[in-house]
Structure formats: structure tokens, C-alpha cells
């Protein structure tokens, strides 16, 4: 039972980290696309890549942090 709780905490950490990272990545990618004057459809691609990259990194780190925090309670 405690294992499922730990797995749920890690999954929640990954989901929250992905959401926060995606939001930050979208804002930063949009800013960067306009700042460097990226043309047309490449702008959409750049924003998407930045969003997915940030979501993956934030999700990974928040999931790892949740796992470490969960392991301390045992």
C-alpha cells in the first residue's frame, strides 16, 4: 500500500513538473521566437520544442525530487 502511495506521489510530481515546465517553456519560447525574429512556421516549431523540452526537464527533476522525498519516509 505504501508503495502505491509513493508511486502516486512520483507520478503527481512528474505531472505537476511537466505542467509548470510546459507553461514556462511556452512563455520563454514565445519570447525568444519574437526576440530573434524567427520566421513563420519555424516560430511555431521553436515554441513547441522549447515547451516540450522544458516540460520534460521540469517533470524529470520534480519526479526525481518526489522519489527522493518518498524514499526518506521509509
Segment 6-59, tens digit of pLDDT:
899 999 999 999 999 999 999 999 999 999 999 999 999 999 999 999 999 999
In a domain, 50, yes or no: yes
10 in any annotated domain: no
Residue 26 lies in a domain: yes
* 38: in domain: yes
Please give the tally of structural domains in the chain.
Answer: 1
End-to-end CA distance of the chain: 13
Domain around 47: 17-72
- Considering the domain boundaries, does residue 43 fall inside one? yes
Supply the pTM of this predicted model.
0.86
Residue 9 inside a domain? The answer is no
Amino acid at each position: 500500500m505504501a508503495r502505491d502511495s509513493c508511486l502516486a506521489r512520483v507520478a503527481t510530481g512528474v505531472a505537476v513538473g511537466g505542467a509548470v515546465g510546459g507553461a514556462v517553456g511556452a512563455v520563454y519560447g514565445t519570447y525568444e521566437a519574437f526576440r530573434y525574429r524567427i520566421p513563420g512556421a519555424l516560430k511555431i516549431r521553436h515554441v513547441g520544442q522549447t515547451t516540450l523540452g522544458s516540460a520534460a526537464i521540469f517533470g524529470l527533476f520534480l519526479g526525481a525530487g518526489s522519489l527522493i522525498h518518498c524514499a526518506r519516509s521509509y
